[in-house]
Amino acid sequence: MTQTQIEAFISESAEFTPESCIGFTITSGYAHFKKVGNNSAKPTYRIPPRTTVAGLLAGILGYDRDTYYDLFQPDNSAVSVVPLNNPHTVSVSTTTVNTKADEAIKYIPPDVHYTKGVKALTPESYVELDRQRDPYEMLVDPKYRIYVSLAAEDVETELFERLSESRYHYSPSLGLSECLAEINDVERHSLTEADDEPIEVDSTVCELEGSTVVPKPGVTVCRERSPLYMEATDGGGRRTTTFGNVTYALERDRALTVKGQLAYDTGRHVVSFS
């Protein structure tokens, strides 16, 4: 889809109300969703931020970095995450190096053919830059059910086909590229608006103005403030435009009770979109 087509979808979709969605289950041995504002120590969100889900889907579709943000704005997309387990965390220390193209470490001298790379490794060829040892907080065996609806029907159709056929442009991962993920149980779902008040919601809830998560006995309510939407900048980078309070129940067999917020029944879960 061209930039002109993307802008046309945005102008035509003042408000986006999903009528159907794609649902799929994603899991991995480990996951890490780096919290904003932390550098040396790297804690993780428990729930993949909406921006992370957008990046995951864009990678499956083959979009380059900083080219897909307009497809996942609130007026033309809807995303919901249902945590299917409560993963514990471990701390993993990782030695990192700078991989910026014009500063990357030269492992192989320029006069040595790449097929001889193993023999070419010498201290002089790989210690040009200092290493940094960082502790990562990793989620162990995370599992989520993700629901997504897009106003761009041709993009949503391609996404469904790629998910169903495991035909990914970039391999899916949960946060870090090393946390390769498995996607299965891909389905299309019709959506029925839930009209109960209050509503029992299986998914996370991005609390909106006027909405309230009602505490209940036996349900541990957790909240994370995470990025929701991004935009590309003129300098070739990106920036977060909106953060939100994402609330979820710690116990996987318990639902959140919510007042003043739309929710939809997918046939498998009752979800709140953001």
Q: Kindly report, residue by residue over 210-241, the tens digit of the pLDDT.
A: 678 888 888 899 999 999 999 998 877 889 99
Higher-confidence residue: 40 or 193? 193
Which residue type, as a one-letter code, is found at position 272?
S
What local confidence, expressed as pLDDT, does residue 237 receive? Answer: 84
What's the rounded Cα separation, in Å, for the pair 106 and 209? 52
Class of domain 3-87+141-271: alpha beta
Could you count the other beta carbons within 10 Å of the beta carbon of residue 24?
Answer: 20
pLDDT at 254: 84
The mean pLDDT value of the chain amounts to: 84
In the beta sheet, which residues pair with residue 34? 44
Q: Which of 52-66, 88-102, 129-143, 258-272 has the lowest mean pLDDT?
A: 88-102
Residue 167 in tokens: 């035909």
Establish whether the linkage from the previous residue to 172 is cis, with ω within 30° of 0.
no
pLDDT score of 109:
57
Kindly report, as residue ranges, where domains of CATH 3.30.70.3120 are found in the chain: 3-87+141-271
Does pLDDT of 209 surpass 80?
no
Residue 146 has pLDDT above 80, yes or no: yes
Task: Supply the pLDDT for residue 94.
Answer: 80
In this predicted structure, the answer to whether residue 73 has a pLDDT above a threshold of 80 is: yes
- Assign 162 a pLDDT band (cuts: 50, 70, 90): very high
| Alpha carbon 106 to chain centroid, angstroms | 32
Give the 3-state secondary structure of residue 117: helix
Residue 129 has what pLDDT? 53
SS3 118: helix
| Lowest mean pLDDT across 4-13, 99-108, 246-255 | 4-13
Q: Which two tokens stand for residue 203?
A: 């998914």
Give the strand order in the sheet containing 132-140: 30-31, 132-140, 89-96
Which residues have a Cβ under 8 Å from the Cβ of 209 and sit 6 or more positions away? none
Per-residue pLDDT band for 130 (boundaries 50, 70, 90) equals low
Residue 174, Cβ density class (10 Å: 0-12 exposed, 13-18 middle, ≥19 buried) = buried
* Strand, helix or coil for residue 122: coil
Sorting pLDDT into bands at 50, 70 and 90, what band is 131? low
